[in-house]
Amino acid sequence: MKTKILENKDNRARVALLDGEGNSAHELELILCEGRGKDENDKACKFLYWAFESGLDSNLDLSDFRDWLGALSNEGLLTVDVDQWIRDAIQYRLNNGKFKTLQRTSKKVEGKPSQRLDNLTPTEKLEAIVKSLGDGTAFKVRASGDSKAKLETKLVAEQDKGKRLAEIFRSCRALEDEAKSAKGKALETIHANLAKLNQEFEQMNA
């Protein structure tokens, strides 16, 4: 079936599935998100991607997806029943999202990202899953944007960055004071250290 981009503005896009006469039959809305990826040199970089918005800000409901999938099914383009596809999608989200998270523990290491440890018994893992199914956390939908954990990590990183920038500033002032009376190799060493600190400062603010 033919599709068409109806609108692409302000990081939001509306796309349509067209009927036999080329008219918009069903529509879905996407948003442009920002994630983290790696460039050709294996360095961390921003990664932009289109995705369906979740949470209260989403303009879509289940009927939008059901209608779209139904149209594909009617044309023989969907290999399973619509309800089966939706069921499998829910199971996939749980199996590869919350369930995997619950079956490992988190270990915090100062100055490093948390490590995920596989140190629970099969029974403990099952109990964690069953609890989440009962209290509803397994089905919790995270709204678009940073999660609480990401926001906390970001805040810590910004605080650490602020501390380091303050340290660089103080070190530079101290070295500049020393340079006023230094000579020869001592002065060269001071200038070299100042250059390193200035480079670090520029990299942190890039």
Domain boundaries, the chain: 97-145, 151-204
Residue 98 has pLDDT above 50, yes or no: yes
- Please give the Cα distance from 72 to 64 (Å, whole number): 13
Helix (H) or strand (E) holding 105: strand 105-107
- Looking from the CA of 91 toward its CB, the CA atoms found within 13 Å total 6
pTM for the whole structure: 0.60
Residue in 78, 14, 11 with CA at minimum distance from that of residue 3:
14
Share of the chain above pLDDT 90, in %: 39
Q: What is the SS3 assignment for 6? A: strand
What does the pLDDT read at residue 144? 54
**Which letter does DSSP use for residue 138 in this model?**
G
**pLDDT tens column, 107-138:** 776 666 677 888 899 999 999 999 999 999 88
User: What are the angstrom distances between the C-alpha of 32 and each of 10, 14, 54, 109?
Assistant: 9, 12, 13, 33
- Please give the Cα distance from 16 to 6 (Å, whole number): 7
Query: Using 50, 70 and 90 to split pLDDT, how confident is the model at 159?
Result: low
- Please give the Cα distance from 24 to 15 (Å, whole number): 9
Tokens 């069903």 sit on residue: 26
Q: What is the SS3 assignment for 29? A: strand
What does the pLDDT read at residue 148? 47
- Please give the Cα distance from 4 to 15 (Å, whole number): 6
**pLDDT tens column, 18-58:** 998 999 999 999 999 888 777 777 777 888 899 998 888 88
Query: Using 50, 70 and 90 to split pLDDT, how confident is the model at 90?
Result: very high
**pLDDT tens column, 61-83:** 999 999 999 999 999 999 899 99
- Please give the Cα distance from 79 to 113 (Å, whole number): 41
